[in-house]
Amino acid sequence: MTNPQFSRAELAAAFDVFEQTVAHAAETKDWDAWVAHYPPDVEYIEHAMGTMHGRDEVRSWIRKT
């Protein structure tokens, strides 16, 4: 398996999209697009809530916040 190489510009652009998605989700309370940034089998570690497994658990948690 090889590690893909991304330029700084590509990484910055991807992070900008992520930040815009978060901002939109926070305004609209529609977190589906944000959750879609993660793979279906995500293990999401939230410092106060612990580890969530899969998009459905993450979506359920973020909708309550």
Instruction: State how far Cα 12 lies from the chain centre.
Output: 15
- pTM comes to 0.79
Q: Is the pLDDT of residue 1 over 70?
A: no
Q: Report pLDDT for 3.
A: 74
Give the model confidence (pLDDT) of 12-63 as tens digits: 999 999 999 999 999 999 999 999 999 999 999 999 999 999 999 999 999 9
How far is 61 from 18, CA to CA, in rounded Å? 18
Q: Report pLDDT for 59.
A: 97
* Spans of all domains in the chain: 31-65
Quickly tell me which residue has 């999401």 as its tokens: 44
